Amino acid sequence: MHTADLDDATRKAARALLAEVFEGDLTDDDWDHSLGGIHALAWEGEELVGHASVVQRQLLHNGRTLRTGYVEGVGVRADQRGRGHGWAMMAELERVIRGAYDLGGLGATDEAARLYAARGWKLWTGPTYALTPTGITRTQEEDGSIYVLPGSVPLDLAGDLTCDWRAGDLW
């Protein structure tokens, strides 16, 4: 469902879940990055056990601006992992990405990279950058953690990839 359709209790439960999953390393900016798009939620009875969202971003590649479905806030409660919740949430988000965007993108943790690769996401092997208020800035620390879900636009995975500006973590 869209962020606008999340009731207050679900929104609070999702944020609390992600704070737990990321062991307290969820900033206000991180949470904000997960809002404004489509949310996939996993429930075990009446308890929220998984969250993922896709929001629109602009990525620059090969001289083109690409409308990108960027995946944010993916997490499954520790005791519910390995039960297919992450797989099911990603399937729904990928359906949205394929239907509405030029490609999908995400920044993967080491723990989640295997899931994305198994679902057909491709590791970006080229250099990454961000379009900042002071110009294009190299984001070398993100190299090796950015994945894309190819769509209708040809991609050179070894080429440059630049994300749009936002507060907090750029990727």
Q: Give the model confidence (pLDDT) of 36-50 as tens digits.
A: 999 999 999 999 999
pTM: 0.96
d(CA 78, CA 85): 11
**Which two three-digit tokens encode residue 130?**
């961000």
In the prediction, which pLDDT does 111 show?
87
d(CA 42, CA 52): 9
User: Taking Cα atoms as reference points, which of 70, 75, 67 lies closest to residue 94?
Assistant: 70
Q: How many helices (H) and strands (E) does the chain have?
A: 4, 9
Residue whose entry in the numeric block shows the structure tokens 């990279």: 113
d(CA 94, CA 87): 10
d(CA 105, CA 55): 10
d(CA 166, CA 29): 9
Q: What percent of the chain is modeled with pLDDT above 90?
A: 97
In the prediction, which pLDDT does 24 show?
81
Q: Which regions of the chain are under pLDDT 70? A: none
CA atoms within 13 A on the CB side of 79: 5
Domain definitions of the chain by residue range: 3-163
In the prediction, which pLDDT does 49 show?
98
d(CA 31, CA 75): 12
Q: Could you tell me which CATH number the domain at 3-163 has?
A: 3.40.630.30
